[in-house]
Structure 1
Amino acid sequence: MSRTSDARQSATRRQMLARTGALGAGIAFAGSLGELFAGSAAAQGRSGYGDLVPDPAGLLDLPKGFRYKVLSREGDPLRSGEGKVPSNHDGMTALEGRGGRVHLVRNHENRVTAKIGVPTVEGLTYDPMGKGGCTALTLDRDNNVLSERVGIAGTAVNCAGGPTPWGTWLTCEETEDKAGTNGYTKDHGFIFEVDPADPHRSGAVPLTAMGRYQHEAIAIDPRRGIVYETEDAFQAPFGLFYRFLPNRPEGGLGSLRAGGRLQAMRVPGVPDLSAVQETGASFGGIEWVDVPDPLAAQTPIRNQDFGPKGITHAQKLEGCYWGGSCVYFVSSYARSREGSAGDHFGQIWRYDPAARRLTLVIVFGPGTDLQLPGEEPDNICLAPSGGLMVCEDGAGAQHVFGVTRKGEVYAMARGRQNIGTPDEPEWGEFAGVTFSPDGDTMYVNCYTPGTTFAVTGPWHR
């Protein structure tokens, strides 16, 4: 998720715009957002919760009436005694527990150079040389931390993932490093299942049939059991959008180990989604093509031979979620100078399985003010009162921003932890935004310094 060079390039572009007086009013949208909120409560077209109030503690700015609690910070002791809270807090979900408790499962996008790796724990470690993984927190009704422990260890670059209908978390490795690379003893690039209530029930078993590539996020069709997967590839040829047809579509802990078929999406006549610029553009007859070698033994999947018709690529495929009867996925940006067919600052696509139709729902415009919500949408979730919450992944000030049905954008939170210098400040990006099952708390991570917040307040105002 963290792209330091991209951030510097974006900052330079914005600074140039500032000097020439070409600053805009933050992010802009084209398209209709109403359909994005299928399955969520009705929104009233709200334009936000008011201006952000500077935090005296210098951690998190929120609108008046909202407050935060720091649940966990990197370097603090895990309550389990297994070691320290790892670095690089990334994708996250909140799952319902017994007696009103909440299980918060948090990814750690750690490479071999990570400051604090996920502690290795017997029975929960895939590759002892991997520093990535997940930690699991259990909270009471008041967001007090009852327990905090390792959920899985020995994995690598755990970026995002997604919850399952049966109450577990699928954590995704955003790497293709094989055994012998960077000191790893096993191949990486897999999805793993984590049971936050009892991690030893899920263990550390790679779901190999779901493919080995630079995974980002997943979303599951709750009726059919189909798993949709995004690939965040950084260089051309870019990533693919996948679906996994499980042999046990009824689901349940461990069911995905039974295997299935991995397929990639082909949009007839569209080899690169970035070439599509008009919102509302829609393509029928979507095809799903079997992946020749899901384990990518010799060739990365996106480079494999999908026949004379080829396959459809897209740059920076990231967030993914299920809403109503469709799956939505995010392309964070596309840059022609890096090999894309077109340029954009973020897209949201909708795929309707029943109609086999793909539609471009939203196009993000450039945000040119360093202090306003900017471009490059990343983690995304539905807010319980209607609308979206989106973590931006650009340069300058870092926000969680909300989006109403009318396309109005407002800042919901702004990070205040300066990881740069007083003269050249930098702020860690946000990640893993999610809501409690009752909708009363927004949980979100600051990537670095790794910090997990619980935000409460008048969400239904």
Structure 2
Amino acid sequence: MPTTRRQALARTGAVGAAVAFSGALSELFAGTAAAQATGGSAGYGPLVPDPDGLLDLPKGFRYKVLSREGDPLRSGEGKVPSNCDGMAAFAAPRPHGDGPGDSRADAQHGRSGKGTTWLVRNHENRMDGRVPVPAVKGLTYDPAAKGGCTVLELDRHNNVLTERVGIAGTSTNCAGGPSLWNTWLTCEETEFKAGEEGYTKDHGYIFEVGFDRRRPTSVEPLTAMGRFQHEAVAFDPRTGVVYETEDAFDKPFGLFYRFLPEKPKGGYGSLHAGGTLQAMRVPDVADLSTVTETGTTFQGIEWVDVPDPLARQTPVRFQDFGKGGITHAQKLEGCYWGGSRVYFVSSFARTSEGSQRDHFGQIWRYDPRRRSLTLVIRFGPDTDVQLPGEEPDNICLAPSGGLMVCEDGEGAQHVFGLTRQGKVYAMARGAQNLGTPQDPSWGEFAGVTFSPDHRTMYVNCYKPGTTFAITGPWQD
């Protein structure tokens, strides 16, 4: 394929081979307590080539490989699955008087000591997944499906204590998000029905993955939250409302949703009580790609009930939302709550694929109290600042302020940091060449997240599936 600008810059050793952005980065960090940005004003310095050819980091930082696809799971349940995607890290509570039990039950239910961490990891396996998530009794939804989650239990030094299946028999588990009660909601980015592509059950749901005896994984889908090509979720901690993104593959593109639970903030299992699924309507805006000026704000955002959340006959994004229609956007991916607002990412838009305008990424902010929607950041070649990468995907808040962004574009693949002051820097670069020296290729990053004590950044290389723990002078 032709050499892109990103590939050319990567080969010359430039710190960042990326497109530009415009917008008020400071808005992304509203409500964060940190006064100083991660990486200071200029990041942590240039990336140092890794002699082992896995991961390039700034000087002073180190990585540990926690898990690689195809290696044996420590539980003995099978092999580490492929296509490592979204992740989250949870502090594991100390056990409360449960007997020692057998070792398999301890691993299954996360019997943990002080200072341990649960790291839950999605596997975006479709029917052609290289290494499927092993089917485990009591944890498998559809025996024909190859996706799911695995759970790693880590000690304070990031040594892997246990590694096991969290849920199996799901499909295309892309992202998700943590609940208010410290379980993981894993999202299926598909909408195949039973009998299609070899599946025996309908797919396109959210499932709740737990870590201990009091909050075990449920293989019953959260049907009221909709059946569509889910990407990520974020909770409003004040109200318990859940926001959801849809990464639809074709036109009409995905929608931005909110779920109003019958038992808001009800705790583990409460989402099974049902609720109301609604889609966002921006008056007079059918496609978010048409908005090009950062700072553009729409008032009076409307929420319209989804006619058929289970999409029994018609996919949700094709359904009739009545007068005024509904608002679509291409590649709706990352979603997180910050301060009193929810942020979500449109990774890119291409007119060649049906969008009304081209862009290399947008970040939107929705304010529930004011019912307003604002375009905060726009990535693209027509702006005039360097970095932070093309096609932003997974996003997480860094512990000392700022963001970490996984890119999913062409050429070299990076994790970029964005400081509160608007500085952008390369934090990591994938070094596992999947191609040839003459035509190199690198797997995207996914699942960036931080440990509960903020001392470790975890991130996946999607292909070949590799999970890294990165430590270093984060507070310098």
TM-score when normalising by structure 1: 0.93
Which residue, 38, 44, 49 being the options, matches 1:49?
A: 44
Does the 8 Å contact 1:111/1:132 carry over to 2?
A: yes
In 2, the alpha carbon distance for the partners of 1:25 and 1:136 equals 34
In 1, the alpha carbon distance for the partners of 2:269 and 2:425 equals 40
Q: Displacement, 1:251?
A: 2.8
In 1, the alpha carbon distance for the partners of 2:214 and 2:468 equals 23
In 1, the alpha carbon distance for the partners of 2:391 and 2:382 equals 9
Does the 8 Å contact 2:6/2:410 carry over to 1?
A: no
Q: Which residue of the partner structure matches residue 24 of structure 2?
A: 32
Which residue, 348, 351, 356 being the options, matches 1:341?
A: 356
The secondary structure found in structure 1 opposite 2:216 is: helix
Paired residue total: 446
Q: Which residue of the partner structure matches residue 210 of structure 1?
A: 225
Q: Which residue of the partner structure matches residue 361 of structure 1?
A: 376
In 1, the alpha carbon distance for the partners of 2:180 and 2:7 equals 47
**Residues 209-248 of structure 1: CA deviation (Å, up to 9, x unaligned):** 0000000000000110000000001211100000000001
In 2, the alpha carbon distance for the partners of 1:94 and 1:77 equals 22
Gap change, CA 1:78 and 1:32, over 3 Å in 2: same
What is the correspondence of 1:211-360 to structure 2 with a 5 Å cutoff? 211-360=226-375
Identify which range, 400-409 or 256-265, moves more after superposition.
Answer: 400-409
Q: Which residue of the partner structure matches residue 92 of structure 1?
A: 87
**Residues 431-451 of structure 1: CA deviation (Å, up to 9, x unaligned):** 000001111100000001100
> Counterpart amino acid of 2:77?
E
Does the 8 Å contact 1:32/1:405 carry over to 2?
A: no
Q: Does 1:415 align with 2:430?
A: yes
Does the 8 Å contact 1:373/1:398 carry over to 2?
A: no
Q: Which residue of the partner structure matches residue 68 of structure 1?
A: 63
In 1, the alpha carbon distance for the partners of 2:63 and 2:189 equals 30
The secondary structure found in structure 2 opposite 1:34 is: helix
Q: Displacement, 1:29?
A: 1.6
**Residues 169-205 of structure 1: CA deviation (Å, up to 9, x unaligned):** 0000000110011110000000000013359822311
In 2, the alpha carbon distance for the partners of 1:325 and 1:193 equals 25
Does the 8 Å contact 1:135/1:150 carry over to 2?
A: yes
Q: Does 1:80 align with 2:80?
A: no
In 2, the alpha carbon distance for the partners of 1:265 and 1:29 equals 25
Gap change, CA 1:91 and 1:190, over 3 Å in 2: same
In 1, the alpha carbon distance for the partners of 2:18 and 2:44 equals 17
CA RMSD of aligned residues (A): 2.0
Q: Does 1:150 align with 2:165?
A: yes
> Counterpart amino acid of 2:389?
G
**Residues 294-329 of structure 1: CA deviation (Å, up to 9, x unaligned):** 000111100000002100000000000000000000
Q: Which residue of the partner structure matches residue 3 of structure 1?
A: none
Q: Displacement, 1:25?
A: 5.9
In 2, the alpha carbon distance for the partners of 1:367 and 1:172 equals 34
Gap change, CA 1:173 and 1:77, over 3 Å in 2: same
**Residues 88-136 of structure 1: CA deviation (Å, up to 9, x unaligned):** 0000000111211111000000011111100000000000000000000
In 2, the alpha carbon distance for the partners of 1:203 and 1:218 equals 18
> Counterpart amino acid of 1:97?
A
- Runs of 5+ consecutive residues of structure 2 not aligned to the other structure: 94-113
Gap change, CA 1:437 and 1:268, over 3 Å in 2: same
Does the 8 Å contact 2:392/2:408 carry over to 1?
A: yes
In 2, the alpha carbon distance for the partners of 1:439 and 1:27 equals 29
> Counterpart amino acid of 1:81?
G
> Counterpart amino acid of 1:287?
E
Q: Which residue of the partner structure matches residue 401 of structure 1?
A: 416
Does the 8 Å contact 1:367/1:373 carry over to 2?
A: no
The secondary structure found in structure 2 opposite 1:100 is: coil
What is the correspondence of 1:104-119 to structure 2 with a 5 Å cutoff? 104-119=119-134
Q: Which residue of the partner structure matches residue 5 of structure 1?
A: none
> Counterpart amino acid of 1:454?
A
> Counterpart amino acid of 2:390?
E
In 1, the alpha carbon distance for the partners of 2:242 and 2:213 equals 23
> Counterpart amino acid of 2:20?
A
In 1, the alpha carbon distance for the partners of 2:310 and 2:445 equals 31
Q: Which residue of the partner structure matches residue 4 of structure 1?
A: none
- Runs of 5+ consecutive residues of structure 1 not aligned to the other structure: 1-7
Does the 8 Å contact 1:373/1:399 carry over to 2?
A: no
**Residues 328-385 of structure 1: CA deviation (Å, up to 9, x unaligned):** 00000011121111111100000000000000001112499xxx86300000000011
Q: Displacement, 1:258?
A: 0.5
Gap change, CA 1:367 and 1:271, over 3 Å in 2: closer
What is the correspondence of 1:129-140 to structure 2 with a 5 Å cutoff? 129-140=144-155
**Residues 392-423 of structure 1: CA deviation (Å, up to 9, x unaligned):** 00011010011112322211000011111222
Q: Displacement, 1:425?
A: 1.2
**Residues 50-89 of structure 1: CA deviation (Å, up to 9, x unaligned):** 0001111110000001000000001111111100000000
Does the 8 Å contact 2:333/2:347 carry over to 1?
A: yes
The secondary structure found in structure 2 opposite 1:175 is: coil
> Counterpart amino acid of 2:70?
G
In 2, the alpha carbon distance for the partners of 1:355 and 1:328 equals 15
**Residues 261-297 of structure 1: CA deviation (Å, up to 9, x unaligned):** 0000000111111000000000000000000000001
TM-score when normalising by structure 2: 0.91
Does the 8 Å contact 2:139/2:168 carry over to 1?
A: yes
The secondary structure found in structure 2 opposite 1:244 is: strand
In 1, the alpha carbon distance for the partners of 2:399 and 2:7 equals 39
In 2, the alpha carbon distance for the partners of 1:365 and 1:324 equals 27
Does the 8 Å contact 1:70/1:451 carry over to 2?
A: yes
